[in-house]
Amino acid sequence: MIGVERRKTNKLMVGEVGVGGDSPISVQSMTNTDTRDIDATVNQIKRLEEVKCDIVRVAVTDMEAAKAIKEIKKRINIPIIADVQFDYRLAIESVKNGVDGLRINPGNIGSNNRVKEVVKACKERGISIRVGVNSGSISKEMLKKYNGVNEDSIVFSCMENIRILEDMDFRDIKISLKASDVILTIKSYKKMAELVDYPFHIGITEAGPVWNGTVKSAVGIGSLLAMGIGDTIRVSLTGDPVEEVKVGKEILRSLNLIKEGPQIVSCPTCARTQIDLIKLVEEAQRKLEKIDKNIKVAIMGCAVNGPGEAKEADIGIAGGKGCGLIFKKGEIIKKVQEEKLLDELISEIEKL
Ligand code: SF4
């Protein structure tokens, strides 16, 4: 990103995907199927793969779910992380069944011996652990010490969990510190960034329904990334996980952190617009999703300002009355009837 130096961190691997260090920032999501329903879970992961999800997480709620990972893994192409709460046996079973990463808090597992068993299993297979605290899971001691929920209680509660792993000489750790409050999340990650070199999984937890959650996540995740903080991201939305990945990718794209696929630039329309630009942009978006080219496509309402305002776009259209212009890098190349405009644009894009 222009002018932003990324925070230096250790690097770890989640399957084939690097997290931290010089690895590209990855986008994760989590399935909302019953992990024991292998077909449903695989189908959802396949849909996530189609929108280029880098890592997927599944909830492991019992032994059957832990064992299902083996079959799920055979049928998918992206790394899979097991999300385990409290029961260390589920973590170990998930590792045995080939999971690529674990999300578990050592402080919730119980005795040191149990944590040691999980750590041993992870070390043997080179598996990383995400340690995370969110505003609802701060330890009682830290809540008391720091007078309630704030960045100090979140960060130092997480440090308690990190220390348990470090004391066992385990350092393949990534950290998450999520709150549904954007400012609190940002303050927490900033504080933690001063204390450790572990990579960060960032996101705004319980961000809400798709529209509101998208805005909230873009503000929170985008602010952190613009400060150089964040190595893997997850957008949490109450909706289809596919939307989470699309939003995550768009956040990275808007900060020039990835150049995957076409980026649409379109004008807000005004009294000069004489074509149905909103419909045109919606249709173009659907068609462009299937095109695998790193290009900027402008869709502008008028020929007066359109081509000029979108000069930096690789290709674009500018609406007129019943017709439109197709331009490349600000230069007009042809005039087309309105009803043929989109097809013509796509055919020109295919030639690029
Ligand atoms: Fe209005 Fe033309 Fe600008 Fe679109 S590009 S907002 S139609 S002036």
The pLDDT score that the predictor gives to residue 125 is: 95
Is 273 near ligand 1, meaning CB less than 6 Å away? yes
The pLDDT score that the predictor gives to residue 190 is: 97
* 8-state DSSP, 284: H
The pLDDT score that the predictor gives to residue 1 is: 53
Cα–Cα distance list, 299 to 191, 256, 266, 271, 293 (Å)? 42, 20, 5, 16, 17
The pLDDT score that the predictor gives to residue 2 is: 53
Burial class (CB in 10 A: 0-12, 13-18, 19+), 194: exposed
Which atom of ligand 1 is found nearest the CA of 303?
Answer: 2
Which atom of ligand 1 is found nearest the CA of 270?
Answer: 1
The pLDDT score that the predictor gives to residue 223 is: 97
The pLDDT score that the predictor gives to residue 136 is: 85
Under-70 pLDDT residues of the chain: 1-3
Which protein residue has the closest C-alpha to ligand 1 atom 6?
Answer: 269
The pLDDT score that the predictor gives to residue 54 is: 98
Is 268 near ligand 1, meaning CB less than 6 Å away? yes
The pLDDT score that the predictor gives to residue 143 is: 95
The pLDDT score that the predictor gives to residue 311 is: 77
Mutate to test the pocket of ligand 1, among 265, 266, 270, 274 (most ligand atoms within 8 A of CB): 270
Is 225 near ligand 1, meaning CB less than 6 Å away? no
Tens-place pLDDT, residues 176-219: 998 889 999 999 999 999 999 999 999 998 888 999 999 999 99
The pLDDT score that the predictor gives to residue 147 is: 96
> What's the CA-to-centroid distance between 28 and ligand 1, angstroms?
36
